[in-house]
A and B are shown apart, each in its own frame.
Chain A
């Protein structure tokens, strides 16, 4: 009936979880008053007329952190199967993971020295 055991619940719960915000928004649409008068739809900027838009270039720092994140996130994904099977693999797997993590620590040290982890 279903190839992955237990995941039919995932699919079902995805539908139910998606229905919650959708139903809430539809109910809101039906019940709530609707008016477009005045300055209601003006972007909020502390009571002033907004100066320019917000779709502009932003701080490069965010990209740097995103790049370092990608490296380490992939690392953790690689480590998950290792951790689950660790009790069967023993010492050799430990040394292998040690080398793997050591390489990434070098990468972290490099990023640190280059200032990729500095905000200012």
Chain B
């Protein structure tokens, strides 16, 4: 049961708690608490799923528009104003496309591959917070859950590459697996430094720890090296340029996706964009203060003589929090799109050298430096 813990938190800390309000409203109507809890369960999940899908549609549109601008083209313009409906049209088109399974492929693994890629990526949204109580579940292991889930994805990629029985697919699948395991360790180590500063794995605690003094208390100032390592690794895990070797068009056709058509291709596509948005959200949660406004909302409220417990102030704080989270994440998505058109692709040996011989030692040093700074200046590094 989550309810007792969250109830107590809501009393001492500001921020809207939709679960509490929902449960209280239902209990006011005479519904028993357990039933109210069960009725509440699917609501945040469906909301987050819809948010993720809308996030992907926006990202795809943004990617096409920004890419077009970078190449002095116009980009999509006919479907809806400025072509905003183009990604949705593409998705619907893929839904009615024929599903081609190569005669020599392993049918079961071929189908299972994209499914296995998509599920953990969606599941990771469980821990993405948009506000103090605006996340699906504040599970104790928080960010560690994301690291665990993100290592399932390479299995799906390897599976689909191998099952296709195509040489390009096999090479793409192997490269994808090698790449994501190489960058997972520096990624996990840079998260470790953040965890050490927050004394907690929960994404909520990580953000709260950063929001004592607004912009100045964000983790990016205390972890600049960790931020860069995390961002590079996140790009590599998402297979974005300059690390898109697994699907390098010029050499491998489309890598592990070569034999895929119709909905299965769309699942890969959806998975990679959900992963990109997720990574951007997590960078903003870990390093850029999550839902925090650059100037703490409490200070503004005090200045205006308002209590943070007032319903109207809470609604405004909550909305500002959601907007800030999304704004920070999309700034990073925009950066990733610009990087795509300004950096050349690395070679596989350069990629592995960067991961193993540069990022891994640097992230170990970063972790130890954080630990020693925490011993020396416990107040500045989370007590």
Chain A residues in the interface with B (C-beta under 8 A)? 1-2, 5-10, 12-14, 16-18, 20-22, 24-25, 27-29, 31-35, 40-46, 50, 53-55, 58-59, 62, 65-66, 68-69, 72-73, 76, 79-80, 83-84, 86-87, 90-91, 94, 97-98, 101, 105, 108, 112, 117-120
Contacts and interface: CB of A to CB of B under 8 A. Distances in A.
Nearest to A1: B1
Given A54-B170, A119-B352, A24 B95 contact: yes
Nearest to A41: B103
A94 B206 CA distance: 21
A28 B356 contact: no
The 8 closest A-B pairs by CB, nearest first: A9-B137, A119-B349, A28-B263, A17-B122, A41-B103, A83-B196, A76-B188, A21-B115
B353 A44 contact: no
Contacts of A112: 356-357
Given A54-B164, A94-B372, A6 B123 contact: no
Interface string B1-31: 1100100000000000000000000000000
Given A54-B165, A119-B352, A21 B114 contact: yes
Residue of A13, A44, A119 most packed against chain B (CB within 10 A): A13
Q: How many of chain B's residues touch chain A, expressed as a range? A: 35 or more
B151 to A, nearest CB: 8
Contacts, number: 216
Contacts of A84: 195-196, 199-201
Contacts of B162: 54-55
A118 to B, nearest CB: 8
A28 B95 contact: yes
Residue of B144, B184, B196, B368 most packed against chain A (CB within 10 A): B196
Nearest to A91: B375
A54 B184 contact: no
A44 B258 contact: yes
Contact of B368 (A31, A45, A50, A101): A101
A108 B364 CA distance: 12
A65 B98 contact: no
Contact of A42 (B46, B103, B349, B383): B103
A34 B378 contact: no
B102 interface: yes
Given A43-B166, A44-B258, A45-B167, A10 B200 contact: no
Contacts of A83: 192-193, 195-196, 367
Contacts of A62: 174, 177-178
Given A87-B199, A87-B374, A24 B267 contact: yes
B248 interface: no
B79 to A, nearest CB: 20
A92 to B, nearest CB: 11
A98 B371 CA distance: 10
Contact of B189 (A1, A76, A91, A94): A76
Interface string B150-193: 01000000000010111111100010011001101100110011
Nearest to A14: B123
Contacts of A118: 349
A5 B9 CA distance: 15
B42 A32 contact: no
Contacts of B66: none
A40 B167 contact: no
